[in-house]
Structure 1
Amino acid sequence: MNLITKVILLIVMILIPILGLYAYSYRQSVHVIENQINTRNEEKLANFLNQIEILLDQNMLFAALATKDPEIKSVAFGNLPESGYDRFNVIQSLQSKLSLFSITNKIMNVISIYFPRSQLFLTTDTTSVFERDAFFKSYTPNWRLNKVEVNGIPMDAFSRFFASPLHEDPDGLMNAELIIRVDFFTQNITNLLDGFKLAGNSDAFFYRSADEVVYSSTANTQRIKQLLQNYPMDQYTSQSKFHDIVSIDGKKYLLYTLASSKVDWSLVDIEPLDEILKPVVHSRNLFYAILLLLLLLGTLAASLLYFHIQVPIRILIRGVEHIKNKNFGYRIRKRRNNEFQQLFDSFNGMGMEIDHLLKRVYAEEIRSREAIMKQLQSQINPHFLYNCLAYMINMAKMNNNKSVIAMAHNLGDYYKYTTRNETLVTTLINEIELAVNYMNIMNHQLDKFQYTCDIPESMKTIKIPKLIFQPIIENAIVHGLEEILEDGWITIVGIEEPDGYRLVVEDNGPGLSREALEALKSKIAMENNESEQTGLWNVHHRFKYYFGPNSGMLLNHSALGGLKVELYWGK
C-alpha cells in the first residue's frame, strides 16, 4: 500500500465518524423539530376548533335566551293579538330581537322562530318564504350540514332546531310552544380557516365525510381530494386526535386530525414537511457540500504528496534497482525544483563513482585473469614438452628416426603456435587442427586408434582459450587407449544449443570405476591443484576463468566404454 492510498484512507477514516455523528445529530434534530411541530399544531388545532365550537355555542345561546324572554314566552303561550296595531308592535319587537342577536354575533347566520299555536313565523332572512313542510322536513336536534337559500342563492350552512319544551320526535313538534332554527353558514368556518392558514403553509379543512367537507377559500382542493382518496379519513377521525406522516405526489406531509366533542366533525390539517424542514435540509446539504469539499481538498493534498514525494521516491527506488541489477550507467534524468533534485544529483554522482570504481576493478580483474591464464598455460608447456621428449628418446633408442623427425617437426609447430603471447585466445578450428595434428603424431607412434571429428561450421570461429583442447586428447590417448590391446577410437563432436555450446570427447578405453570417477571430479572441482595430474584440472579452471561460472568441464562414463569429457559454455 503506497503513501497516497494511506493518506486517502486516513482522510476517509476521519470523515466517516464525522459523517456518522452528523447523521445522528440530523436525525435527532428532525425528531425534535417534528415533536415541536406536533405539539404546536395540536395546540393550534385545539384552539381553532375551540373557536368553531364557540361560534356554535353562541348560536345555541340565543335559543336558550329566547326560551327565557318574557315577550317570546308570552307569544309562545298564544298571547298574540289577532290583528291591529298591538299585533304589529309585538311582531316588530320580536323581529328586532332576532336581528339584534344576529348583528351582535358578527357572524353570518339566519335565525328563524316558529310559534305553532299562533302559526307565526319570524326570520332574519327577509327574503325567506315560510313553508312549513320544508321547515320541519330538515328538522334535526343536532348540527347538520344543509343547503339554505339566501336571496335565491343556495348556500351551505350548519342547521339546528331548538324546541321548547324539548322534543326529540319531529312528529310531536306541533305540540311545542316554540321552535327555533339556527342556520350557521359554513362561510364563517371558511373565514376562520383562512385565518388559520395565514399562520403557516398548512391546508386545514373541516371534515365529516368525503361528501361533507368545508375548505378554506384558498385551499388546494385537488391535493385534499387526493389525500382523502389515498388515506380514508374515517380511520383517523374516529380517534379524538391523531397525527402521522403521509405522502402525496411524492412529497411528505404532516397529517393532524382533531375530533370535536360538540359536533360529529373533525378538524384536519396537512402541512408540507419538506417546507418545514427546508432550513434543516439546507443546513444538511451545506454540511455535505463542506464534507465533500474537505474530501476533495484531502484528495488534492494526497495527490500533491504523491507527485512531490511518492513519485520522486519511486524514481530513486527505480534507480537503486538499476544499480542493484548492475546497470551502473543508469542516471536519473528527471528535474525537480525541490529538495529531491539534490538527492537526484547525489544519486547520479554516486552511480558515476560506482561505475568508475567498478571499471577500474574490472580492468584489474581482467589483468589478474590474464596473469592466471598465462600461469596455467605455462604449466601445460613443460608437461607436454616432457612427454614429447620422452617419446623422442624412446624412438631414438629404437632407431626410429622418422618418428623422431616427425615429432621434432610437430614439436616445432606446437611451440611456434604456443609461443605467440600477443593473445591468449584462438578459434575453435585452430584448437581442433592442433589436436588432429597431435593425434596423427601419436597414432604414428602407437598405430592403434582411429578418430572422427564433427564440428558445425557455426562453431569453428568461436573464440576459446589457447591449448584448452589438446590436454583432453592427450589424456584420452595416454590414460585410455594405450592401456587396451584392441584398436582404439576417439570421437570429437561439437553441439550448438539455443543458449550455449558443447564440445564432447569420448574414447573406448578401459574407463574409470564409479569411485575413481567421483574422486577425479572432486580433484578437478578443487580451487587449488594438489595432484601432479594438472591437465584436466587446468582445462576446467581456465574455461571457468574465461567463460564465467556457468561453464566448465563435465566427466562421465562413455557409451563407447571409456571416459566422456564434455566442455560447455554459454552463448
Structure 2
Amino acid sequence: MNVITKVILLIVLIVTPIIGLFAYTNQQSVHVIEDQINTRNEEKLSYFLNEIERLLDQNMMYATLATKDPEIRDVSFGNLPPSGYDRQNVIQSIQSKLRLFSITNQVMNVISVYFPKSDLSLSTMSSAIFGQAEVQNQFTANWKLNKVDVNGVQMEAFSRYFFSPYQVDPHNLMNADLIIRVDFFTQNITNLLDGFTLAGHSDAFFYHSPDQVVYSSKANTELIQQVMKLYPLDQYTSKTKSYDIVKIDGKKYLLYTLASSKMDWSLVDIEPLDQILQPVVVSRNLFYVILLLLLLFGIVSALLLYSHIHVPIRILIRGVEHIKNKNFAYQIKSRRKNEFQQLFDSFNGMAVEIDQLLKRVYTEEVRSREAVMKQLQSQINPHFLYNCLAYIVNMAKMNKNQSVIAMAHNLGDYYKYTTRNESLVTTLRMEIDLAISYLDIMNSQLDKLAYTITIPENMLDFQIPKLLIQPIIENAIVHGLEDKLEDGVIAITGMADQVCRLVIEDNGSGLTSDALQMLRKTTGQEVNISERTGLWNVNHRLKYYFGEHSGIQIDHSALGGLRIELYWEIVEKEGAA
C-alpha cells in the first residue's frame, strides 16, 4: 500500500463517522418535523371539520326553531285563513320569520316550508319552493349534495328535510303537519376551505366520492385528480382518520383524511412534504457539498504529495528496472522544475549511445516484420490451387478446351484480385466479380452449384473492405453444400436505404439451434477462439471500417441452410471507386 492510498484511506476513515452522525441526526430531525406536521394538521383538520359541522348544526337548529314557532304551528294544523288580507298577512309573517332565521345564520342557505294540510309552500327564495312531488322524490333524512335553482342558476348545496311531528312514518310524509327543507350551499364550505388553505401549503377539499367533491376556490384540482386516480380515497375515508405518504410525479405528499361524525363525508388535506422539508433538505445538501469540498481538498493535497515526491521516485525506479532488463532505449521524459529534473537528465544522458544502437536494431526488425506481412498477404490456398490445376489437367486430357479456358480465366481473375496488396479497400462491384469467379471455379469442380445475384445498381460502386463476400461463400460451399448429393443454391441479395444490407443464403445442411447460437457468440467476441476465422474476420473488419453500427447477422435460411446478412451504415467515405 503506497503513501497516496494510505492518506486517502485516512481521509475516508475521518469523514465516514461524520457522515454517519449527520445522516442519523438529519433523519431524526425529519422524523420530528413530520410528527409535528402530523399533529398540527390533525388539529387543523379537526378544527375546520368542527366548523363545517357547527354550521350544519346551526341550520338544523333553525329548522327545529321553525317547527316550534306558534304561528307556523298554527298553520301546520290547517288554521290558515282561506283567502283575503288575513291569509296574505299570515303568509308574509311566516316568510319574514324564515328570512330572519336565514339571516341570523350568517351563511348562504335557503329555508323552505311545506304545509301538507294546506298544500302551501313558503321559502326564503321563491325559486326554491317545493311541493308534494319534490318531497316524495327527494326526501332524505341526512345531508345530501344536490343542485338548487337560485333565480335560474343551478348551485350546489347540501340539502336535508325535517318534519313535525317526529313520529310520522318517513314513507308517508303527507301525514306530517309540516315539512322543512334546509339548503346549505357548498360555497360556505368553500369559504372555510379557503381559510384552511391560507393557514399552510395544503390543498384541502371535502370528499364523499370521486364525483362529489367540494374544492376550495384556489385548489390545485389537477393534483387532487391525480391523487384520487392513483390512490383511491375510499380506502382512507372508510376510517375515522388516516395518514399516508403518497408520491405524485416524483414528489412526496402527506395525505390526511378525517371523517365527519354527522354526515358521510370526509375532510381531506394534501401537504407537499418536499416543500415543507425544503429548508432541511437545503441544509443537508449544503453540508454534503461542504463535506465533499473538504474531501476533495484532502484528496488534492494527497495527490500533490504523490505527484511531487512519490511519482518521481517511481519514475526513477521504473527507469532502473528497464535498464536492468536490457531496455537501454528507455528515456525519462518527465519535465519537473525541481531537484528531480537533474537526476532525470543524468539518467537520460547515460542511455543516449545505447539508444541509438537499439533504434537501428529496431528499424531492421520492423522491416523484417513488414516483409513477413507482405509474404503472408501473397500466400494462396495450395489445396484450392491444386484442385483447380488438377481440373485443368483432366479437362485437357479429355480435350474439353472451353472448360480449360474458362477455368484458367476464372482462376487468373481470382488470384489477380486476391494477391493485390496495394489497397485493402475495393468496390462492391469488384467483390461481386470475385464471388462470380469463385462460384464458377467451384461449379466447374462440383458441377452442382447454381447462384443468383440481385443487387441494385446504386450499391455496386460503394466502397467496402476487400474479401468480405468470398469467405462467406467458401464457408457455405465447404461446410454446407459440398457434401450434399442434391444441387446447391446460393442467393446473394442487396438492398440500400440508410443502411446497406447484403444477404447471402444457401440451401446447405445448415446448423442446429445450439450450434447457431455458439457461432453467433464466437463471431461477436473481441478475440477469436474458434478454428473458423472467416466469419469472425468479416464481422470485425466491417466494424473497423464502418463503425459499431455494422457487422453480420447469422440465422436459419428459408432455403434450408444459413442466412448471413452483412449490414453497414452509408457514410461519406463511401462512393464511386
Q: Secondary structure at the match of 1:264?
A: coil
- Greater CA deviation, 296-305 or 255-264? 296-305
* Aligned residue in 2 for 1:59: 59
Report the Cα offset of residue 322 of structure 1.
Answer: 11
Q: Which has the larger radius of gyration?
A: 1
* Aligned residue in 2 for 1:186: 186
* Aligned residue in 1 for 2:199: 199
Using the size of structure 2 for normalisation, the TM-score is 0.55
Report the Cα offset of residue 79 of structure 1.
Answer: 2.5
Report the Cα offset of residue 271 of structure 1.
Answer: 1.2
The reply on whether 1:254 has 2:254 as its aligned counterpart is yes
Give distance in 2, aligned partners of 1:318 and 1:56: 91
Report the Cα offset of residue 199 of structure 1.
Answer: 1.7
Give distance in 2, aligned partners of 1:54 and 1:257: 19
Q: Is the 8 A contact 2:255 2:269 kept in 1?
A: yes
Q: Is the 8 A contact 1:252 1:274 kept in 2?
A: yes
Q: Secondary structure at the match of 2:262?
A: coil
Report the Cα offset of residue 53 of structure 1.
Answer: 0.3
Cα deviation digits, residues 50-73 of structure 1 (max 9, x gap): 110011011001012112222222
Tell me which amino acid in the other structure corresponds to 1:35: D
Give distance in 1, aligned partners of 2:314 and 2:21: 39
Give distance in 2, aligned partners of 1:186 and 1:7: 70
Give distance in 2, aligned partners of 1:315 and 1:121: 107
Q: Is the 8 A contact 1:136 1:170 kept in 2?
A: no
* Aligned residue in 2 for 1:156: 156
Cα deviation digits, residues 270-302 of structure 1 (max 9, x gap): 111111111111111111111211111111111
Between the two proteins, the alignment pairs up a number of residues equal to 347
* Aligned residue in 1 for 2:210: 210
* Aligned residue in 2 for 1:244: 244
Q: Is the 8 A contact 2:253 2:270 kept in 1?
A: yes
Q: 1:23 to 1:273 in 2, by over 3 A?
A: same
Cα deviation digits, residues 108-146 of structure 1 (max 9, x gap): 111001122222211011234544202432111111111
Q: 1:307 to 1:122 in 2, by over 3 A?
A: same
Cα deviation digits, residues 475-505 of structure 1 (max 9, x gap): xxxxxxxxxxxxxxxxxxxxxxxxxxxxxxx
* Aligned residue in 2 for 1:232: 232
Q: 1:324 to 1:248 in 2, by over 3 A?
A: closer
* Aligned residue in 2 for 1:99: 99
Report the Cα offset of residue 29 of structure 1.
Answer: 1.4
Q: Is the 8 A contact 1:141 1:168 kept in 2?
A: no
Give distance in 1, aligned partners of 2:231 and 2:242: 13
Q: Secondary structure at the match of 1:127?
A: helix
Q: Secondary structure at the match of 2:126?
A: coil
Give distance in 1, aligned partners of 2:281 and 2:301: 30
Tell me which amino acid in the other structure corresponds to 1:23: A
Q: Is the 8 A contact 2:243 2:255 kept in 1?
A: yes
Q: Is the 8 A contact 1:141 1:162 kept in 2?
A: yes
Q: Percent identity?
A: 71
Q: 1:149 to 1:322 in 2, by over 3 A?
A: closer
Report the Cα offset of residue 323 of structure 1.
Answer: 12
Q: Is the 8 A contact 2:205 2:267 kept in 1?
A: yes
Q: Is the 8 A contact 2:114 2:131 kept in 1?
A: no
Q: 1:167 to 1:215 in 2, by over 3 A?
A: farther
Cα deviation digits, residues 192-240 of structure 1 (max 9, x gap): 1122112222111111112211112222223222222222212211110
* Aligned residue in 1 for 2:431: none
Using the size of structure 1 for normalisation, the TM-score is 0.55
Q: Is the 8 A contact 1:146 1:158 kept in 2?
A: yes
Report the Cα offset of residue 308 of structure 1.
Answer: 3.2
Tell me which amino acid in the other structure corresponds to 1:166: Y
Tell me which amino acid in the other structure corresponds to 1:273: L
Cα deviation digits, residues 333-374 of structure 1 (max 9, x gap): 999777x679x89xx9xxxxxxxxxxxxxxxxxxxxxxxxxx
Q: Is the 8 A contact 2:207 2:267 kept in 1?
A: yes
* Aligned residue in 2 for 1:310: 310
Give distance in 2, aligned partners of 1:333 and 1:267: 77
Give distance in 2, aligned partners of 1:21 and 1:213: 46
Report the Cα offset of residue 249 of structure 1.
Answer: 2.2
Report the Cα offset of residue 190 of structure 1.
Answer: 1.3
1:314-353 equivalences under 5 Å are 314=314
Tell me which amino acid in the other structure corresponds to 1:158: F
Unpaired stretches in structure 1, ≥5 consecutive residues: 326-331, 349-571
* Aligned residue in 1 for 2:371: none
- Greater CA deviation, 113-122 or 129-138? 129-138
1:444-523 equivalences under 5 Å are none
Give distance in 2, aligned partners of 1:5 and 1:171: 89
Tell me which amino acid in the other structure corresponds to 2:105: N
Q: Is the 8 A contact 2:116 2:132 kept in 1?
A: no
* Aligned residue in 2 for 1:20: 20
- Greater CA deviation, 270-279 or 165-174? 165-174
Tell me which amino acid in the other structure corresponds to 1:298: G
* Aligned residue in 1 for 2:520: none
Aligned Cα root-mean-square deviation (Å): 3.3
Q: Secondary structure at the match of 1:142?
A: coil
Give distance in 2, aligned partners of 1:199 and 1:245: 20
Q: Is the 8 A contact 1:167 1:173 kept in 2?
A: no
1:518-529 equivalences under 5 Å are none
1:406-421 equivalences under 5 Å are none
* Aligned residue in 2 for 1:38: 38
Tell me which amino acid in the other structure corresponds to 2:171: D
Give distance in 2, aligned partners of 1:87 and 1:124: 18
